[in-house]
Structure 1
Amino acid sequence: MSFSTPTLQLKISEVAQRLRLLTQINLQLHWQIINPGESDHPVEINEKGHIPWAAGKQVLKLRQKIIVPRELQGYPLTGLTLRLVLSWWAQDAQIYINNQFVQAGDLFDSYTRILLSSSVQPGDEFEIELSLISPGHDRGALVNSCCWYELSDSSKIDPSFLADELEILGIFLASENHQPDLETDLTSLGKILDIISGYILPKVPRTRGVWGGQNLTEFENSLTQVRQILKSVIPKLDTYKISLLGHAHLDLAWLWPITETWIVAQKTFESVLQLQTDFPELIFCHSSPILYEWIEKHRPDLFSQIQDNIQKGIWEIAAGLWVEPELNIINGESIVRQVLYGQRYVLEKMGQLSTVAWLPDTFGFCWQLPQIFQQGGIDYFITQKLRWNDTNKFPYGLFEWQGLDGTKIISFMTALIGERVDPVKIFKYALEWKTQTGLNQSLWLPGVGDHGGGPTRDMLEITRRWNQSAIFPEFKFQKVKDYLIEVLNNAPAPLPIWRDELYLEFHRGCYTTHADQKRFNRRGETLLYEAELFATIATLYSGSIYPQQEIETAWKQILLNQFHDILPGTAITEVYQQANQDWETAIKTAEEILHQSFDAIVASISVNFPSQPDAQPIFIFNSLNWSRSEVVAVPIPNSDSCWQIYDYQGIPQTAQTRGERSEKPQLLFLAKNVPSLGYQVYWLGRKQAETLEISQKYPYMGKPIPNYTESIAEKNEVVKYYQLEPKNISFENDILRVIVDTETGNLEQVFDLINQRNILQLGQGNQLQVFADSGQYWDGWNINPNYQEYPLDLPQLESIEWIESGPIVWRLRIIKRLNQSEFCQDYILEQGSPQLKIETTVNWQERHTLIKVAFPLTITADFASYEIPCGVIQRPTNPKNPPSPLPPVYGGFPEGKAKWEVPAIHWADISTPDYGISILNDSKYGYDAQSDQLRLTLLRGSTWPDPEADLGWHQFSYAVYPHGGDWKQAKTVQKGYEFNRPLQVKVYPPISSTANLESSSCQSFLELGSDHLILMAFKQSETKSKQWILRCYECQGEETRLELQNNLGLTIDYSVNILEQPQETTVSISAWKIVSFALTSRDS
Structure 2
Amino acid sequence: MAEGPETVLHPWIETFRSRSSRDLHPHWRVQRPGGLESLAIDDPWGRRHRPDWFARGLIIWPRGGQELRLSQRLLCPEPWRAWGQLRARLVLRWWAEAAELRVDGESVHRGDLFDTACRWTLPERWWAGEPLELALTLRSPLHDDGALIQSRLELEPTGSGDPHGVLLAQSLELVVLRAESEGTPGPLAERLAALDPASPSERAAGLELLREQLRGMAPSPAEPGFHVLGHAHLDLAWLWPVADTWQAAERTFRSALDLMERHPQLHFGHSTPALYAWLERHRPALFAAIRAAMVAGRWEPINGPWVESDCVLIATASLWRQFEEGQAYSRSRFPEWEPSVAWLPDSFGFGAGLPAVAAASGVRWFCTHKLAWNATNPFPHRLFRWRSRCGAEVLSLMTAPIGTDGDPVAMERYRQSWRRSTGLETALWLPGVGDHGGGPTAEMLEQLELWQGQPLAAPQRHGSLRAYLAELEPHQAQLPIWRDELYLELHRGIATSRPDQKRHNRSLERLLREAELAEALRSAASHGPEGRSATEAAGRAELTEAWRTLLFQQFHDILPGTAVPEVFEQAEPQWRQARRLARRQRDGALGRWLAPRPRPVANAWWLVQLQALGATPLTVRLPRGDWRLADGSSLPRQPAPSGGDWVQLSGPQGVAALSLERRSLGGHPELAGGSPGGDRWSRDQPPRRHGGPPLARQRPGVRSGGAPGAGAALEPARSRPTGVAPGVAPLARSRRLLGCLGSGR
TM-score range, shorter chain: 0.7 to 0.9
Displacement of 1:278: 0.7
**Cα distance change, pair 624–118 in 1 and its aligned pair in 2 (3 A):** farther
Match of 1:286 in 2: 270
- 2:711 equivalent to 1:986: no
Counterpart contact for 1:282–1:314, Cα < 8 Å = yes
Match of 1:157 in 2: 163
Match of 1:488 in 2: 473
Displacement of 1:492: 8.0
Letter in 1 for 2:455: A
Match of 1:513 in 2: 497
Aligned match for 2:656, one of 650, 673, 678: 678
- 2:327 equivalent to 1:346: no
Give the 5 Å matches for 1:87-106: 87-106=93-112
Aligned match for 1:329, one of 296, 313, 317: 313
Give the 5 Å matches for 1:3-152: 5-6=2-3, 8-35=5-32, 38-44=35-41, 46-71=54-79, 76=82, 80-118=86-124, 120-121=126-127, 123-152=129-158
Q: Compare the two structures and name the one with the higher strand fraction.
A: 1
RMSD: 3.2
Structure 1: runs of 5 or more not aligned:
203-218, 610-614, 637-642, 691-802, 805-825, 840-920, 924-951, 954-976, 992-1000, 1002-1013, 1017-1034, 1036-1084
Letter in 2 for 1:532: E
Report the Cα distance in structure 1 between the residues aligned to 2:257 and 2:297, rounded to whole angstroms: 13
Q: Please, which moves more after superposition, 147-156 or 59-68?
A: 147-156
Counterpart contact for 1:54–1:140, Cα < 8 Å = yes
Displacement of 1:434: 0.9
Aligned match for 2:443, one of 453, 458, 462: 458
SS at 1:405's partner residue?
coil
Match of 1:666 in 2: 644
- 2:144 equivalent to 1:416: no
- 2:627 equivalent to 1:645: yes
- 2:662 equivalent to 1:654: no
The alignment covers a number of residue pairs equal to: 683
Displacement of 1:33: 1.3
- 2:347 equivalent to 1:619: no
Report the Cα distance in structure 1 between the residues aligned to 2:145 and 2:368, rounded to whole angstroms: 30
Letter in 2 for 1:104: R
Report the Cα distance in structure 1 between the residues aligned to 2:341 and 2:655, rounded to whole angstroms: 36
Letter in 1 for 2:361: G
Aligned match for 1:629, one of 598, 601, 617: 617
Displacement of 1:596: 2.4
SS at 2:489's partner residue?
coil
Report the Cα distance in structure 1 between the residues aligned to 2:404 and 2:255, rounded to whole angstroms: 17
The normalised TM-score by structure 2 is 0.85
Give the 5 Å matches for 1:1025-1064: none
SS at 1:6's partner residue?
coil
Letter in 2 for 1:400: R
Displacement of 1:549: 0.7
Report the Cα distance in structure 2 between the residues aligned to 1:169 and 1:922, rounded to whole angstroms: 65
Report the Cα distance in structure 1 between the residues aligned to 2:201 and 2:131, rounded to whole angstroms: 26
- 2:381 equivalent to 1:392: no
Give the 5 Å matches for 1:859-1008: 983-989=711-717
**Cα distance change, pair 237–222 in 1 and its aligned pair in 2 (3 A):** farther
Report the Cα distance in structure 2 between the residues aligned to 1:687 and 1:138, rounded to whole angstroms: 64
Counterpart contact for 1:82–1:120, Cα < 8 Å = no
Aligned match for 1:603, one of 595, 599, 607: 595
Letter in 1 for 2:397: F
Letter in 2 for 1:58: Q
Match of 1:249 in 2: 233
Report the Cα distance in structure 1 between the residues aligned to 2:298 and 2:229, rounded to whole angstroms: 10
Displacement of 1:275: 0.7
Report the Cα distance in structure 1 between the residues aligned to 2:558 and 2:514, rounded to whole angstroms: 24
Counterpart contact for 2:219–2:454, Cα < 8 Å = no
Superposed CA offset, 1:650-681 (max 9, x none)? 1111122336xx9xx52331231323233100
Letter in 2 for 1:686: S
Superposed CA offset, 1:512-564 (max 9, x none)? 11110001000110011111221332344367625221011101111010000
Counterpart contact for 1:157–1:224, Cα < 8 Å = no
Give the 5 Å matches for 1:399-438: 399-438=384-423
**Cα distance change, pair 533–689 in 1 and its aligned pair in 2 (3 A):** closer
The normalised TM-score by structure 1 is 0.59
SS at 2:122's partner residue?
strand
Counterpart contact for 1:35–1:61, Cα < 8 Å = no
Q: Compare the two structures and name the one with the higher helix fraction.
A: 2
Match of 1:766 in 2: none
Displacement of 1:147: 1.4
Report the Cα distance in structure 1 between the residues aligned to 2:35 and 2:587, rounded to whole angstroms: 69
Report the Cα distance in structure 2 between the residues aligned to 1:154 and 1:327, rounded to whole angstroms: 46
Displacement of 1:985: 2.0
Report the Cα distance in structure 1 between the residues aligned to 2:476 and 2:502, rounded to whole angstroms: 43
Letter in 2 for 1:634: L
**Cα distance change, pair 618–275 in 1 and its aligned pair in 2 (3 A):** same
**Cα distance change, pair 596–117 in 1 and its aligned pair in 2 (3 A):** same
Counterpart contact for 1:245–1:284, Cα < 8 Å = yes
Superposed CA offset, 1:777-813 (max 9, x none)? xxxxxxxxxxxxxxxxxxxxxxxxxx99xxxxxxxxx
Report the Cα distance in structure 2 between the residues aligned to 1:539 and 1:295, rounded to whole angstroms: 35
**Cα distance change, pair 53–186 in 1 and its aligned pair in 2 (3 A):** closer
Match of 1:373 in 2: 358
SS at 2:593's partner residue?
helix
Structure 2: runs of 5 or more not aligned:
43-53, 527-531, 669-679, 700-704, 720-734, 736-741
**Cα distance change, pair 36–432 in 1 and its aligned pair in 2 (3 A):** same
Displacement of 1:385: 0.6
Give the 5 Å matches for 1:221-240: 223=207, 225-230=209-214, 239-240=223-224
Superposed CA offset, 1:386-420 (max 9, x none)? 10111111111111011121112110011211111
Displacement of 1:478: 2.0
- 2:541 equivalent to 1:541: no
- 2:524 equivalent to 1:527: no
Displacement of 1:980: 7.0
Report the Cα distance in structure 1 between the residues aligned to 2:55 and 2:184, rounded to whole angstroms: 38
Match of 2:702 in 1: none
Letter in 2 for 1:71: P
Letter in 1 for 2:7: L
Counterpart contact for 2:21–2:153, Cα < 8 Å = yes
Aligned match for 2:562, one of 560, 566, 570: 570
Report the Cα distance in structure 2 between the residues aligned to 1:158 and 1:238, rounded to whole angstroms: 28
Displacement of 1:47: 1.5
Counterpart contact for 2:219–2:455, Cα < 8 Å = no
Report the Cα distance in structure 2 between the residues aligned to 1:401 and 1:421, rounded to whole angstroms: 31
Report the Cα distance in structure 1 between the residues aligned to 2:589 and 2:220, rounded to whole angstroms: 70
Superposed CA offset, 1:728-785 (max 9, x none)? xxxxxxxxxxxxxxxxxxxxxxxxxxxxxxxxxxxxxxxxxxxxxxxxxxxxxxxxxx
Displacement of 1:190: 4.2
**Cα distance change, pair 584–470 in 1 and its aligned pair in 2 (3 A):** same
Report the Cα distance in structure 1 between the residues aligned to 2:221 and 2:711, rounded to whole angstroms: 67
**Cα distance change, pair 18–346 in 1 and its aligned pair in 2 (3 A):** same
Counterpart contact for 2:600–2:630, Cα < 8 Å = yes
